[in-house]
Chain A
Amino acid sequence: MDETFRAHLAELLELDKGRLSPETTLAELEGWDSMARVLFVAMADREYGRRVAGKEVTAARTVADLQRLVQG
């Protein structure tokens, strides 16, 4: 997976990068709460210039799903 994206996501979740692989399910990440989702939307705008709809974030199941939202 894209290392920059992994770093952004890890920073947002306050987790070690090693915890995140493309197949990691978001439900098992203790930091993936409603605040993290808002931070993700802001990060998508800031780092990728992308508008990600709340519905798309809610539908994401894995880290790979999230990466697709900003780099798909």
Chain B
Amino acid sequence: MKQAFANFQVRALAAALPAQRQELLALAPEFNMAPEELARILATTGIRTVRVAPPEVCASDLCAAAANQIFAATGLSGGDCDALVFVSQTGDYRLPATACLLQHRLGLGRDAATFDLNSGCTGFIHALFQAGLLLAAGAARRVLVCAGDTTTRLIHPQDKSVRLIFGDAGAAALVESAAADSAPAGFTLHADGAGAKQLIIPAGGCRQPATAATAQATPDDSGNLRSPQHLFMDGMEIMNFTLREVPPLVGEALAQAGWSAAETELFLLHQANKFILDCLRKKMRLPPEKVPVLMGETGNTGPASIPLALCQLQPPPGQRRKVLLCGFGVGLTWGAATLDLGASQILPPIDLP
């Protein structure tokens, strides 16, 4: 799907992280690895530390903190937002939707439209797109997007393939009607459920309900332990998928926006890990300064990764007039947005106390 929105402006962006850090090198004894062996892996992934939300903190709490930071910075409040879109795979409850909880908590009116989107690493693109649709229809003048995950809760602690990758974070974006002469926002979205099993939690939904049996962890061929109720990621196939689909997606998004790669100032890719971003950057022949790699101290934070990276990067306003955001992952889904963030307030990330 391709769509350009003339009436789309990101007013502000913020991100919140749980304060607790897990230094990944410290996990060597837990994984029965020599520190040098683990250090070699960390050098490839580029992830040294992740943040871990304590049990009482959910993705919604992280997103609420980010949203409140936006309200403080803009002088706006929840009551000024016509809709709330919450994108996550770690909502507070199976039901009700977390967007409803956030509507109440952040003081949106009772005539607000609220949606949960179940999406991971493409989630921020999906949520911005939903906000764009609401604005384009004239249904909303201002939409609060909340994007976050506590993925550390979904992984088995003895599964190196994901324990060394994922971290927790929440982000928020305030999207509103733009001035008439603003640059349009372009969106390109793709999905292919053929790859569903490559990034999946097999049990705990309706297809395979949770039972005592599905709670049993078993080792895979690499010695990683997980149960059907834990997140599984097929590293090789996700690598193949990413290398196959992301470069054409970026080309598609640039063509839709009428931008050359040279005039595009920033290619903000989902911060999966350093290795894949370096592979993508080289494949697309982009210079390093245009493809930030920022997940070193926060890990792969799913739908929060793109807004978190912007908040960490703090690009000067004059250098973010042509920004391409690109998400890819669970679904499988992949999508891109081309935005003018020149007038956006990009706030530095905060720690949740």
Chain A residues within CB distance 8 Å of chain B:
14, 33-35, 37-39, 41-42, 45-46, 51-54, 57-58
Contacts and interface: CB of A to CB of B under 8 A. Distances in A.
Contact of A14 (B40, B160, B222, B282): B40
Listed from nearest, the 3 A-B pairs whose CB atoms lie closest are A54-B236, A34-B222, A38-B235
A63 to B, nearest CB: 18
27 contacts: A14-B40, A34-B160, A34-B222, A34-B235, A35-B44, A35-B235, A37-B235, A38-B235, A38-B236, A38-B275, A39-B44, A41-B240, A42-B243, A42-B275, A42-B276, A45-B240, A45-B283, A46-B279, A51-B244, A52-B240, A53-B236, A53-B237, A54-B234, A54-B235, A54-B237, A54-B240, A58-B221
Interface string B231-256: 00011110110011000000000000
Contacts of B236: 37-38, 41, 53-54, 57
Nearest to A34: B222
Given A51-B240, A53-B240, 13 more contacts: A33-B222, A34-B160, A34-B221, A37-B235, A37-B236, A38-B239, A39-B44, A42-B275, A45-B243, A51-B244, A53-B237, A54-B234, A58-B221
Interface string B159-181: 01100000000000000000000
Interface residues of B, number: 21
Chain B binding surface, main DSSP class:
helix
Interface of B: 40-41, 44, 160-161, 221-222, 224, 234-237, 239-240, 243-244, 275-276, 279, 282-283
Chain A binding surface, main DSSP class:
helix
A58 B222 CA distance: 11
A59 B18 CA distance: 41
Contacts of A54: 234-237, 240
Contacts of A39: 44, 275
Contacts of A38: 235-236, 239, 275
